[in-house]
Structure 1
Amino acid sequence: MLTFKVLSLLLRYPSEEIHAALGEMPAVLEEEQLVPAPRQKALFALIEELQGMDVIAAQERYGELFDRGRKLSLHIFEHTHGESRDRGPAMVQLMSNYQECGFELAARELPDYVPLVLEFLAERPLEEAMEMLGEAMPVLTLVAARLHERGSRYAAVLDALESIAGAPEAADELRRKAAEEGPDEAIINMDKIWEEEAITFTHESALEGCGNKGAATTLEQPVQWDIGLRPTTPAPGSNR
């Protein structure tokens, strides 16, 4: 689905190439109709805003928004595992899943980077893509809520993903958390964080998932992105 590719490009660091492709994106979204019309309208507003900006200005804004601190990080495991030891094995599991599906990373980027995940989903059957995206929605909904709190149109991209996969059960709690939380401690303590040791990624086993390359299969062991938040009262009919 090219819609996932469009959403991936919109969440990437702005470049001349991406800026040149902005004019083609609305037609893709309208043709595939994977994103509902109201969500499309918000995406069109983001696209128009980016088209009206100088690329350097867009890059500076992007860096200030996503590359400072952790609350708006586009690396999913930043939110699920932080700097814990579990983050390394999770990275290796996800990388193994990509490789099992014939997806090799060419960019120097961690595999849990949301735009990379979306590129991967663009190459998978829609049912499988929605299953994997659904696992990531607690993180994406939280980041979207934080973007809304900052008045950023980038929230439209994550809102569009929620409209595809459905809102997580804890959506209201996540949005309340975003509205009530204080400043990003990672920005306040930036100097201390830079002094911390980098994580070493090692793991004993590989995630079994896609099987034969290109096969339209679903994951036997879906990647678990959940950040541990659940609604106080389970949704009607929920088996979780």
Structure 2
Amino acid sequence: MSPRVPTLAYSEDTLTQAWQSASILLEYPDQQLLARMDLLTKVADSLPVKLGAGLRATIDHLLRQPLQVSEQDYVDTFDNRRRGCLFLTYFSNGETRKRGLALLRIKQEYTRAGLVLTEDQLPDHLCVVLEFAATTDQRAGLKMLLDNRAGLEMLRLHLTDIASPWSGALEAVCATLPPLKGKDREAVQRLIDEGPAQEQVGLTPYGTPELAPTSGGV
């Protein structure tokens, strides 16, 4: 049964282009990324302004500075800050056992779609989710984004606050989703006030048998 998700304001092709572009731009910067900048620029310029402007801002920023500066900025932004985490279930579950189950459920969605991750990839990394949504199963990928909406918005606000080169890419991703309201707004504010949850006892790896599959599993 397909996930129940809202109808979005953009076409499937537009979402595919926006999400795949954001996925590429949010990866660790390297020479391969620089080689794709012309194509990414053309895609960004072809998208609705609300989406393309954010992508173009990230592209332009990365093109203006040396690659070594971008590499260090990336590490400082996403590896050394709790609020800059690119792993979506961390925001909603923190370092608790619940995160293991959330990771397993996402991995099961990939398995059902025939996608196999490499050993060094966690299924909730934003770039992996965006690539999955863009190229494999748009509705399932969209549901993952919506299930982790509060974390996405917290990351967007954080990147904006620190004037990060990657804030535009997050703006574009969030702009593809429905406006925040009600419980989503409350969840974002709670994350800002309290941060992700912590648990004193050891965590169970997400792939172990203790985490039973959801109904209708692989």
Distance 1:128 1:177, change over 3 A: closer
Q: Letter of the 1:98 partner, please give it.
A: Y
Q: Percent identity?
A: 22
Distance 1:143 1:61, change over 3 A: same
Provide the C-alpha distance between the structure 2 equivalents of 1:101 and 1:175, rounded to a whole number of angstroms: 30
Shift of 1:125: 5.0
Kindly indicate whether residue 212 of structure 2 is the aligned counterpart of residue 200 of structure 1. no
- SS class of match (2:117): coil
Kindly indicate whether residue 167 of structure 2 is the aligned counterpart of residue 167 of structure 1. no
Which residue, out of 67, 76, 79, partners 2:91?
79
Q: Letter of the 1:108 partner, please give it.
A: D
Per-residue CA deviations over 1:194-235 (Å, capped at 9, x if unaligned) read: xx96652222215648x9xxxxxxxxxxxxxxxxxxxxxxxx
Please name the residue that 1:124 is paired with: 136
Root mean square deviation, CA, Å: 2.9
Question: Any residues of structure 2 matched to 1:135-150 within 5 Å, and which?
Answer: 135-150=147-162
Which residue, out of 47, 54, 62, partners 1:50?
62
Provide the C-alpha distance between the structure 1 equivalents of 2:105 and 2:215, rounded to a whole number of angstroms: 5
Superposition TM-score, scaled by structure 2 size: 0.77
Distance 1:125 1:204, change over 3 A: closer
Which residue, out of 51, 68, 78, partners 1:66?
78
**More displaced 10-residue stretch of structure 1: 22-31 or 126-135:** 126-135
Shift of 1:174: 6.4
Distance 1:197 1:56, change over 3 A: farther
2:29–2:70 Cα contact (<8 Å) kept: yes
- SS class of match (1:86): helix
Kindly indicate whether residue 31 of structure 2 is the aligned counterpart of residue 16 of structure 1. yes
Provide the C-alpha distance between the structure 1 equivalents of 2:140 and 2:96, rounded to a whole number of angstroms: 28
Provide the C-alpha distance between the structure 1 equivalents of 2:215 and 2:115, rounded to a whole number of angstroms: 14
- Listed as ranges, the gaps of 5+ residues in structure 2 are 1-15
2:87–2:125 Cα contact (<8 Å) kept: yes
RCO higher in 1 or 2 (8 Å CA, sep ≥ 6)? 2
Kindly indicate whether residue 165 of structure 2 is the aligned counterpart of residue 153 of structure 1. yes
- SS class of match (2:84): coil
Question: Any residues of structure 2 matched to 1:80-95 within 5 Å, and which?
Answer: 80-95=92-107
Superposition TM-score, scaled by structure 1 size: 0.70
Shift of 1:79: 0.8
Shift of 1:26: 2.2
Shift of 1:129: 3.9
Provide the C-alpha distance between the structure 2 equivalents of 1:133 and 1:120, rounded to a whole number of angstroms: 11
Provide the C-alpha distance between the structure 1 equivalents of 2:145 and 2:44, rounded to a whole number of angstroms: 18
